[in-house]
Amino acid sequence: MAATIPLQILDSIKQPASLADRNYNYTFVNQAFCDHYQKAQEEIIGSPMENLIGKESFQNQVKPHIDICLKGEEVSYQYSHLISGNRDSVNQIHLYPCYTDDGAIDGVISISEVQTEQQTIQKLKGSEQEFRMQNVEWLSQRALDFLELPSVEKIYQYIGKNLTGLVPHSLIIINDINEQKETVTPRYMFGINNNTFRKVINTLGMNPIGKEYPFAEELKDCYKKQRLVEFQGGLDEFSFGHMNKTLVSQVEKLLSLKAIYTIGLRRENRLFSAIHLLKFHTSEIQYFNMVETFLNQASIALQRKMLENELRKAKEKAEENERLKTAFLANLSHEIRTPLNIILGYVQLLNTPNLVPEDKTQYINAIHESSDHLTDIIDDVLSMAKLETGQQSLQISPFNLNALILEIYLSFQSKARRKNIRFESVTPLPDDKSTIQSDENKIRQILANLLNNAFKFTPEEGEISFGYSVTNNHINFFVKDNGIGISEEHHNMIFERFTQVEDSNQRKYEGTGLGLPISKGLVELLGGTIQVESKSDQGSTFSFAITLKR
């Protein structure tokens, strides 16, 4: 064996030193080692390590570290045991891989710093205070760093980076939890290199990052307190049957998985994240309390950042509302001024001496039309205000639906004629079976709003139909046109208060932008939802359903 440290050197050093091969048999021990164990060299060399230090002690305390070292890493660990004569001994053991000429690892060199228990306790007492101080310093630095991090994403990255250092030989998985949907989504993984990650993906046949899994009921208990807990079971149990058993056990072997720890992070009593620590090679987490405190700090930092984001969004929304309101008021005064100017103009014309009766009738009709328009605008503003302050209430009574549709049809007929629009109504129920219980005025108001839009946004010679169909105890109302249509990106926004697809500076069509929000509010009051199906230049269909009550 060509060791990196020549055997003569090992022989001459004062600390116990040994050399073991890949099968855990001693191939060399120095004099200090023999003195420590009070055995002769010939008794030890060639024998398995477990013969000397005991099977249990070998399996639990020594072998895991040797296995890491056999993979090429230098390892230091504490090893305490009883040696003959009942002397307690605590050793700091340093392991070094032992290379052959062609670079393969064929064994492990072990050098011990021996202390009696007495010495150890004294040393520990001195260093304990120093160690505590270091912990406090480390944690307070992390707390300060958390304050500086600009986003939730950056906080997660920071958690991953720090946990990797604090818990070596572990895979850290950070998951989003959606308690409402009862799903878990692994978001980030830290602690394994790309090569190992690729092997895990190859073994599983897929990349678990970003996938949604059902949130296991059984884990809820684990997450009741914000504590880091060891999960009792392996990867198979931990995946709660959502992954292939054989593949999962292959991954377990690939990672030399020894234990799984997990912590749930909650905000306002709702879990938002779970962090898993999958430990390889050894099962313990050395600085457990520190890890747990760090994770609690992380949780606070995340909660703070989430709250900050929500407040920022609320502020932006309030500013946007303010902007919309100002634009709405400007638009409203313009909308009011137009019919008002028409009225004032015609009132003046009515004063013209020797006015012929036909002109007089025409002026009076124009005044009527503009007054109606003004009343509509004011009604809209009042309706919106009533909806917003919760003052709109339902007046349910029986009425004949077909008669209502006919009445609305007749009131829009002249508009249809003026624009040469093919206009029809659809009433599938027989007239004598079309009496229903609902709020007739609200339905009239909604359909009139939708029809006003349909007429406004459908060019001459177009087609408009409206009415209802009946399915499964529901009446589905619709208003359909083949006008200018609405592009998909605007479908949500048109139902918001004061919004119009057109830019207010270049408006072709009049309107306050209140028609659809009012319709939406009224439909919701009736217990339904309003929908739009439309594409630019391909017409629009607005529809809503209410429960059929006779």
- If the CB atoms of residues 264 and 485 are measured against ligand ADP, the closer one turns out to be 485
Contact by Cβ (8 Å): 477, 408: no
CA pair distance 157, 155, nearest whole angstrom: 5
Under rule CB under 6 A, residue 522 binds ligand ADP: no
Under rule CB under 6 A, residue 482 binds ligand ADP: no
| In the complex, least distance from residue 343 CB atom to ligand ADP, rounded to whole angstroms | 20
- If the CB atoms of residues 34 and 486 are measured against ligand ADP, the closer one turns out to be 486
Q: Strand 229-231's sheet: what is its strand order?
A: 213-214, 183-190, 170-178, 270-280, 257-267, 229-231
- If the CB atoms of residues 104 and 385 are measured against ligand ADP, the closer one turns out to be 385
Of the residues 238, 457, 466, 478, which one makes contact with ligand ADP according to CB under 6 A: 457
Under rule CB under 6 A, residue 483 binds ligand ADP: yes
Under rule CB under 6 A, residue 19 binds ligand ADP: no
| In the complex, least distance from residue 370 CB atom to ligand ADP, rounded to whole angstroms | 17
Under rule CB under 6 A, residue 515 binds ligand ADP: yes
| In the complex, least distance from residue 528 CB atom to ligand ADP, rounded to whole angstroms | 18
Helix axis angle for 515-525 and 440-456, nearest 10°, is 150
| In the complex, least distance from residue 339 CB atom to ligand ADP, rounded to whole angstroms | 14
Size of the site for ligand ADP (CB under 6 A): 20
Between strands 463-471 and 422-426, the pairing is: parallel
Under rule CB under 6 A, residue 30 binds ligand ADP: no
Under rule CB under 6 A, residue 462 binds ligand ADP: no
| In the complex, least distance from residue 365 CB atom to ligand ADP, rounded to whole angstroms | 24
Q: Which two tokens stand for residue 30?
A: 């120095």
Contact by Cβ (8 Å): 291, 166: yes
Burial code of 428-444, b = ≥16 C-beta within 10 A, e = fewer? ebeeeebebebbbebbb
Report how far apart, in Å, the C-alpha atoms of 155 and of each of 168, 210, 307, 433 are: 20, 18, 14, 64
Contact by Cβ (8 Å): 64, 75: no
Of the residues 285, 484, 523, 546, which one makes contact with ligand ADP according to CB under 6 A: 484
Under rule CB under 6 A, residue 184 binds ligand ADP: no
What mask, x for binding ligand ADP by CB under 6 A, covers residues 487 to 506? Answer: -------x-----xxx----
Under rule CB under 6 A, residue 516 binds ligand ADP: yes
Helix/strand/coil (H/E/C) assignment for every residue in 456-523: HCCCCCCEEEEEEEEECCEEEEEEEECCCCCCHHHCCHHHCCCCCCCCHHHCCCCCCCCHHHHHHHHH
**Residues in contact with 150: Cβ distance below 8 Å, sequence separation at least 6, in sequence order:** none
Under rule CB under 6 A, residue 251 binds ligand ADP: no
Q: What are the two backbone dihedrals, phi and then psi, of residue 181, each rounded to the nearest 5 degrees? A: -85, -10
| In the complex, least distance from residue 443 CB atom to ligand ADP, rounded to whole angstroms | 17
Under rule CB under 6 A, residue 339 binds ligand ADP: no
Under rule CB under 6 A, residue 152 binds ligand ADP: no
Under rule CB under 6 A, residue 383 binds ligand ADP: no
Element (H, E) at 243: none
| In the complex, least distance from residue 436 CB atom to ligand ADP, rounded to whole angstroms | 26
| Closest by Cα among 4, 3, 41, 47 to 23 | 47
Under rule CB under 6 A, residue 377 binds ligand ADP: no
Of the residues 18, 203, 445, 540, which one makes contact with ligand ADP according to CB under 6 A: 540
What residues line the site for ligand ADP (CB under 6 A)? 453-454, 457, 481, 483-486, 494, 500-502, 511-517, 540
